[in-house]
Amino acid sequence: MEKTVLVVLVGLVLLVGVIGVTALATGNNSSLKQVSSVSIDDSQELPDSQESAQLNSLAKITKEQANQIALNNVQGTIKDSELENEDGSVVYNVDVVKDNVETEVKIDAGNGNVLSITKEDKDDGNDGEQDSNDESD
Protein backbone atom coordinates (compact mmCIF):
# COMPACT_ATOMS: atom_id res chain seq x y z
CA MET A 1 0.00 0.00 0.00
CA GLU A 2 2.76 2.45 0.97
CA LYS A 3 4.70 1.45 -2.15
CA THR A 4 1.69 2.20 -4.36
CA VAL A 5 1.22 5.66 -2.79
CA LEU A 6 4.92 6.41 -3.25
CA VAL A 7 4.82 5.36 -6.92
CA VAL A 8 1.75 7.53 -7.54
CA LEU A 9 3.39 10.54 -5.83
CA VAL A 10 6.61 10.14 -7.82
CA GLY A 11 4.57 9.83 -11.01
CA LEU A 12 2.65 13.03 -10.20
CA VAL A 13 5.86 14.93 -9.45
CA LEU A 14 7.35 13.81 -12.77
CA LEU A 15 4.17 14.75 -14.64
CA VAL A 16 4.09 18.23 -13.10
CA GLY A 17 7.76 18.67 -13.96
CA VAL A 18 7.24 17.67 -17.58
CA ILE A 19 4.23 20.00 -17.90
CA GLY A 20 6.24 22.86 -16.38
CA VAL A 21 9.20 22.40 -18.70
CA THR A 22 6.89 22.15 -21.71
CA ALA A 23 5.07 25.33 -20.70
CA LEU A 24 8.34 27.20 -20.31
CA ALA A 25 9.64 25.99 -23.65
CA THR A 26 6.49 26.88 -25.60
CA GLY A 27 5.74 30.05 -23.65
CA ASN A 28 8.89 31.74 -24.90
CA ASN A 29 8.16 31.15 -28.59
CA SER A 30 6.42 34.52 -28.90
CA SER A 31 9.67 36.30 -28.11
CA LEU A 32 11.69 34.50 -30.78
CA LYS A 33 13.15 36.96 -33.25
CA GLN A 34 12.06 36.66 -36.84
CA VAL A 35 15.12 36.73 -39.08
CA SER A 36 15.14 37.71 -42.73
CA SER A 37 16.65 35.48 -45.40
CA VAL A 38 18.88 38.45 -46.31
CA SER A 39 21.29 39.78 -43.72
CA ILE A 40 23.63 42.73 -43.44
CA ASP A 41 26.69 43.33 -41.28
CA ASP A 42 25.48 45.92 -38.81
CA SER A 43 28.59 45.92 -36.63
CA GLN A 44 29.71 49.26 -38.04
CA GLU A 45 27.68 52.45 -38.36
CA LEU A 46 27.32 53.70 -41.95
CA PRO A 47 26.04 57.06 -43.18
CA ASP A 48 22.33 56.86 -44.10
CA SER A 49 22.91 57.19 -47.84
CA GLN A 50 25.53 54.44 -47.83
CA GLU A 51 23.36 52.12 -45.71
CA SER A 52 20.37 52.79 -47.96
CA ALA A 53 22.38 51.89 -51.08
CA GLN A 54 23.62 48.71 -49.40
CA LEU A 55 20.10 47.69 -48.34
CA ASN A 56 18.73 48.30 -51.84
CA SER A 57 21.48 46.16 -53.37
CA LEU A 58 20.63 43.27 -51.01
CA ALA A 59 16.83 43.38 -51.38
CA LYS A 60 15.44 40.77 -53.77
CA ILE A 61 11.93 42.23 -53.90
CA THR A 62 10.91 45.81 -54.66
CA LYS A 63 9.14 48.25 -52.38
CA GLU A 64 6.05 47.93 -54.59
CA GLN A 65 6.07 44.14 -54.20
CA ALA A 66 6.42 44.49 -50.43
CA ASN A 67 3.49 46.92 -50.37
CA GLN A 68 1.33 44.48 -52.33
CA ILE A 69 2.29 41.60 -50.02
CA ALA A 70 1.29 43.74 -47.03
CA LEU A 71 -2.07 44.60 -48.61
CA ASN A 72 -2.65 40.91 -49.38
CA ASN A 73 -2.37 40.24 -45.64
CA VAL A 74 -3.94 43.36 -44.10
CA GLN A 75 -6.82 45.45 -45.43
CA GLY A 76 -6.34 49.20 -45.51
CA THR A 77 -4.23 51.97 -47.01
CA ILE A 78 -0.46 52.14 -46.95
CA LYS A 79 0.74 54.98 -44.73
CA ASP A 80 4.48 54.33 -44.96
CA SER A 81 6.88 51.76 -46.34
CA GLU A 82 10.61 51.54 -45.69
CA LEU A 83 13.47 49.16 -46.38
CA GLU A 84 15.37 48.79 -43.12
CA ASN A 85 18.21 47.05 -41.34
CA GLU A 86 16.62 45.48 -38.29
CA ASP A 87 19.31 43.89 -36.14
CA GLY A 88 21.14 42.65 -39.22
CA SER A 89 18.02 41.51 -41.10
CA VAL A 90 16.98 43.30 -44.27
CA VAL A 91 13.22 43.86 -44.06
CA TYR A 92 10.47 46.08 -45.38
CA ASN A 93 8.34 47.67 -42.66
CA VAL A 94 5.00 48.53 -44.22
CA ASP A 95 2.48 50.54 -42.17
CA VAL A 96 -1.14 49.96 -43.17
CA VAL A 97 -4.02 52.02 -41.71
CA LYS A 98 -7.72 51.14 -41.57
CA ASP A 99 -10.44 52.38 -39.21
CA ASN A 100 -8.00 54.25 -36.97
CA VAL A 101 -5.89 51.10 -36.50
CA GLU A 102 -2.31 51.09 -37.75
CA THR A 103 -0.77 47.73 -38.59
CA GLU A 104 2.90 47.17 -39.22
CA VAL A 105 3.69 44.33 -41.59
CA LYS A 106 7.31 43.20 -41.52
CA ILE A 107 8.33 41.54 -44.79
CA ASP A 108 11.50 39.60 -45.59
CA ALA A 109 13.27 41.64 -48.29
CA GLY A 110 14.87 38.47 -49.65
CA ASN A 111 11.89 36.22 -50.32
CA GLY A 112 8.76 38.25 -49.60
CA ASN A 113 7.65 36.17 -46.61
CA VAL A 114 5.66 37.95 -43.93
CA LEU A 115 7.74 37.87 -40.75
CA SER A 116 5.24 39.56 -38.43
CA ILE A 117 2.06 41.58 -38.26
CA THR A 118 1.66 44.04 -35.38
CA LYS A 119 -1.52 46.06 -34.78
CA GLU A 120 -1.67 49.31 -32.85
CA ASP A 121 -4.90 51.13 -32.07
CA LYS A 122 -4.21 54.84 -32.62
CA ASP A 123 -6.76 55.83 -29.97
CA ASP A 124 -5.28 54.06 -26.94
CA GLY A 125 -1.78 53.06 -28.03
CA ASN A 126 -2.32 49.39 -27.11
CA ASP A 127 -0.16 47.03 -29.07
CA GLY A 128 -1.14 43.53 -30.01
CA GLU A 129 1.28 41.36 -31.91
CA GLN A 130 0.17 38.61 -34.17
CA ASP A 131 3.02 36.70 -35.76
CA SER A 132 2.43 35.27 -39.16
CA ASN A 133 5.02 32.78 -40.28
CA ASP A 134 4.81 32.05 -43.97
CA GLU A 135 7.09 29.02 -44.17
CA SER A 136 6.82 28.59 -47.95
CA ASP A 137 10.44 29.10 -48.98
Q: Is the pLDDT of residue 32 over 80?
A: no
CATH topology of domain 38-130: Nuclear Transport Factor 2; Chain: A, (3.10.450)
C-alpha span between 68 and 93 (Å, rounded): 12
How big is the chain by its Cα radius of gyration, in Å?
22
Q: Is the pLDDT of residue 97 over 50?
A: yes
More confident site: 126 or 99: 99
The CA–CA distances, whole Å, from 40 to 48, 105, 112 equal: 14, 20, 17
Q: Is the pLDDT of residue 16 over 50?
A: no
Mean predicted lDDT score pLDDT of the chain: 78
Query: Buried b vs exposed e over 4-35: b needs ≥16 C-beta within 10 Å?
Result: eeeeeeeeeeeeeeeeeeeeeeeeeeeeeebe
Q: What is the pLDDT averaged over residues 64-89?
A: 97
As beta bridge partners, residue 95 has 80, 104
Task: Give the pLDDT score at 6.
Answer: 56
Domain range summary for the chain, segments of one domain joined by +: 38-130
pLDDT-derived band at 20, boundaries 50, 70, 90? very low
